[in-house]
């Protein structure tokens, strides 16, 4: 069974937040310029598609978002002379997110191994109890886990 990495889920949520902010900006602040508003809404739709794509395990979406956040980091560096703190926050956070996505571009999901029951009729709670007994035998206590 595969599950998305926690960082991939976080990146998807951040991307959805960026797309919501972009949609708000396109609808409210750029209404005087219909071309910019349309471009902003198109970018919003693309970001939502990419956010859903990385949750589905699409490696192309991970690569595209990695490049997007790399460009956003460069924009943060470029606005740093005029807005030092905002530019620095944008550059560092985008660079961290871009590097994480680039690192996990090949396998955004990880394998999750569920413990198998040793007997036909045993339940998952019995299996979990068996695992905790094994850990107790190795010297672990309840506070260590």
Per the structure, the count of domains in the chain is 2
117, pLDDT greater than 80: no
Main-chain dihedrals φ then ψ at residue 114, nearest 5 degrees: -90, 140
- Cross-strand bridge partners of residue 3: 110
Task: Calculate ∠ Cα 73-78-82, nearest 5°.
Answer: 125
Whether the predicted pLDDT of 121 surpasses 60: no
Structure tokens at 129: 């109890």
pLDDT in tens, 36-45: 889 999 999 9
Model confidence pLDDT, tens digit, residues 59-111:
899 999 999 999 999 999 999 999 889 999 999 999 999 999 998 887 767 66
DSSP labels, 39-106: HHHHHHHHHHHHHHHHHTT-HHHHHHHHHHHHHHHHHHHHHTTTSHHHHHHHHHHHHHHHHHHHHTSS
Q: Structural domain of residue 44, as residue ranges?
A: 2-111
60 in the same domain as 6: yes
pLDDT, greater one: 126 or 64: 64
Question: Based on the domain organization, do 93 and 129 belong to the same domain?
Answer: no
Of 94, 86, 110, which is closest to residue 3 (Cα–Cα)? Answer: 110
Tell whether 30 and 65 lie within a shared domain: yes
Together in a domain, 123 and 142: yes
10 shares its domain with 50: yes
């Amino acid at each position: 069974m595969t599950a998305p990495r926690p960082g991939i889920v976080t990146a998807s949520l951040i991307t959805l937040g960026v797309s919501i902010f972009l949609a708000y900006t396109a609808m409210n602040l750029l209404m005087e310029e219909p071309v910019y508003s349309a471009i902003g809404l198109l970018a919003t739709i693309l970001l939502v598609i990419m956010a859903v794509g990385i949750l589905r395990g699409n490696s192309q979406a991970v690569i595209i978002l990695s490049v997007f956040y790399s460009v956003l980091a460069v924009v943060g560096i470029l606005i740093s002379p005029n807005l030092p703190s905002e530019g620095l926050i944008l550059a560092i956070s985008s660079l961290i997110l871009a590097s994480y996505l680039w690192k996990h571009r090949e396998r955004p999901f990880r394998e999750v191994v569920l413990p198998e029951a040793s007997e036909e009729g045993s339940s998952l709670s019995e299996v979990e109890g068996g695992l905790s007994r094994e850990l107790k035998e190795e010297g672990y206590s309840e506070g260590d886990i």
